[in-house]
Amino acid sequence: IDKEENTLMNYKNSKWRNEMAIKIDYNNMMADFIGEEQGFTKKDFDDNKKVIANAFKTVMENRGTGMMGWTELPYNQKEIVDDIIATAKDIKKKFDNFVVLGIGGSALGPIAVFQALCHLRHNELPKSKRKFPKLYVEDNVDPERMAALLSVLDLDKTVFNVVTKSGATSETMAQYLIIMDILKAKYGDKAKDHMIATTSAHKGNLIKIAQEEGLKTFYIPDGVGGRFSELCPVGLLPAAVVGIDIKAMLAGAAYMDKICKNKDFKKNPALISAVLEYIAMGRGKNISVMMPYADSLKYIADWYCQLWGESLGKSVDNEGNLVYVGQTPVKSLGVTDQHSQVQLYREGPFDKVITIIAVENYRATVDISNGCENIPDVNFLCGHTMNELITAERKATEYALTTANRLNYTITLPEVNAFTIGELLYMFEMETAFTGAMLNIDTFNQPGVEGGKNATYALFGKKGYEKTKEEMDNSPKKNPDYIC
C-alpha cells in the first residue's frame, strides 16, 4: 500500500476542482449500444422535452423554499460549521467513542460518509493511528445490539449524539431513555456532558428534553428532511468528529450545485440521470440497482436506497390522483455481487437500470504477488495490481450487461475524498428532486413511513393514537390455517 492518506485536497483551486468533477457515461443506455428494443434514442429525449423542462423549472423555482431548504446547506452554515468543528475538537480531547442514536435519515448518511472517508478499519485501529474517536451509529432497536454495544463501551470515554428531526421517533427516543438512565445513574448531574442532541429547533419532544437537561444542541433546519440531512449537523458533526474535512464536503456540494443549475440536461449529471431513470420507469423498469466498485462506497448505495425509495415511492401525485410510482432501489457491491446478483441482472427480467459507480484512483495500490509459476491459469494474475483487477472486473460487468442489452450507466469519481463525496451526495439529492418533479409527486413527504411510526405509537398506547389502536385491534384475526 503506497498511499494511505487521502490525496491532499486543494478544493479552493479551480483547476483541482475541475479535475475532481464527477462524470456520467450513459452510452450503455442508448439504442446504439443495447439495441432498439431496450435502448433509448434521441426521440425518447425529444418526446420528454416538456416534462424535463418543467421539472427543471419546478426544482429551480422551489430551491431554498419549503422542504427544499437542503439546497442552501452548502452556503448558509458558516457559524454552524465553526461550532461543529470546535465541538468535534473538544470531543476528541475528552472522549474515545462517539455514538449516534438515530434511524433512517439520521443514521444512513453518517454511516455512508464514515465508510467512504475514514480508514476502512477505523474503529479497529490503535488510538495512536486512529487519531480521532471511534464512531458507532446505532440505527436499530434490536436488544442484542444494544446489549453488545454497552458491553464494549467505556462510558467515561463515550459521548452520545441523539438525532431525531421529529423528536418523537420511538426507536431513537427509546435509545435515549436507556442511555440517559445509565448516564444519570453513573454521573448524576454530569450526565449531560455525555449527551448531545440534534433536532428541530422548535418541533417535537427532544428539543424540550434537551433544554430541560441542558444538553449541547445542534439544529436540523425546518426545510431539511431526514434523508436530505447529511450536509447539515446530522451528518457534519459525526463526520467532523472522525476527522473528515466537512468544509471540503460542503465545497464539493456547492460545486455540484452550480453544475446542477444548467438546464441543458446533457451538461447536468443530476438532470441526465433523472431523465434516464424517468424514461426507464415509463417502460416498466421498476428496479434501480446501485453498484459501486469500491468498499468505501458500499453504504453510499444504502443511503441512496433510502433517498430514492422513500422520496419516489408514492401512491398519489400532486393532484391527488392514484399513481403508485417509484422504483425499488437495490444496493449491490462490485465485485462481490458479480458472484451472486449479476447473474440475475444479465439474464433475469428486463426490469432494471443498473448504475455502476467507478473510482479512477483508489487510495491504495496493492500488487498481486508473483507465484505459481508452473500454473499459467493462476500465474496470469501476477505482475498486475488489485487496482487493475477491480477495474477490469467493472469493465467486464459493463460489457456483460451491455451485450445482454441491459440498461446500465456509469458514474465516475476521479477519487474518493471529502470533496467528491460532497458532490456525489448532492448530485443524488438533486437527481431525486428532478425525478420527483417529472413524476409530479411530493418528493419530500413520507406518509408510508409515518404510517408505520403511528402504528407503533398505537401499539405502545401513546396518547392521541387511540383510533389507530382500535383499527388495529379490529383488523382481521390471523387464520391458523395459513401458519405452518
**Of the candidates 105, 334, 414, 422, which one interacts with ligand PA5 according to CB under 6 A?**
105
Closest contact distance (angstroms) between CB of 328 and ligand PA5 is: 16
CB 413, min distance to ligand PA5, A: 25
**Smallest gap from residue 307 Cβ to ligand PA5 (A):** 8
Q: Which lies closer to ligand PA5 via its Cβ, residue 45 or residue 457?
A: 457
Give yes or no for residue 106 binding ligand PA5 (CB under 6 A). Answer: yes
Three-class SS state of 439: helix
Task: Give the residue from 113, 39, 332, 226 showing the smallest Cα distance to 122.
Answer: 113
Q: Choose which of 9, 111, 237, 449 interacts with ligand PA5 (CB under 6 A).
A: 449
User: What string marks each residue from 76 to 95 as x (binds ligand PA5 by CB under 6 A) or -?
Assistant: --------------------
Q: How far apart are CA 71 and CA 443, in angstroms?
A: 14
Please classify residue 411 by burial: count the beta carbons closer than 10 Å to its beta carbon, then call 0-12 exposed, 13-18 middle and 19+ buried.
buried
Q: Which long-range contacts (CB under 8 A, 24 or more apart) does 304-310 make?
A: 304/329, 304/331, 304/428, 305/329, 305/330, 305/331, 306/104, 306/105, 306/108, 306/227, 307/227, 307/228, 307/428, 307/429, 307/432, 308/428, 308/432, 310/104, 310/227, 310/446, 310/448, 310/449
Q: Which of 63, 227, 298, 352 binds ligand PA5 (CB under 6 A)?
A: 227
Question: Is residue 161 a contact residue for ligand PA5 (CB under 6 A)?
Answer: no
- Please, what is the minimum distance in Å from the beta carbon of residue 436 to ligand PA5? 13
Could you give the CA distance from residue 151 to residue 148 in angstroms, rounded to a whole number?
A: 5
Q: Is 310 a catalytic residue?
A: yes
* Binding span for ligand PA5 by CB under 6 A among 98-106, 119-127, 257-265, 389-397: 98-106
Range in contact with ligand PA5 (rule: CB under 6 A) among 57-65, 163-171, 407-415, 458-466: 163-171
Is position 339 annotated as part of the catalytic site?
Answer: yes
Residues, the chain:
484
CA–CA distance, 117 with 217 (Å, rounded to integer): 25
Instruction: For residue 290, give the DSSP letter.
Output: E
* Catalytic one of 92, 453, 462, 469: 453
Q: Are 455 and 470 in contact (CB under 8 A)?
A: no
DSSP-assigned letter for residue 205: S
C-alpha cell at 6: 487521502
Q: Is 429 a catalytic residue?
A: no
The residue (of 113 and 356) whose beta carbon lies closer to ligand PA5 is 113
Of the two residues 17 and 227, which places its CB atom closer to ligand PA5 in the complex?
227
Kindly state whether residue 310 participates in binding ligand PA5, applying the rule CB under 6 A. yes
Contact residue for ligand PA5 among 39, 225, 292, 414 (CB under 6 A): 225
CA–CA distance, 53 with 263 (Å, rounded to integer): 8
Our finding on whether 436 is near ligand PA5 (CB under 6 A) is no
Residues noted as catalytic:
310, 339, 453
Interface positions with ligand PA5 (CB under 6 A)? 103-106, 164-166, 169, 172, 225-227, 310, 446, 449
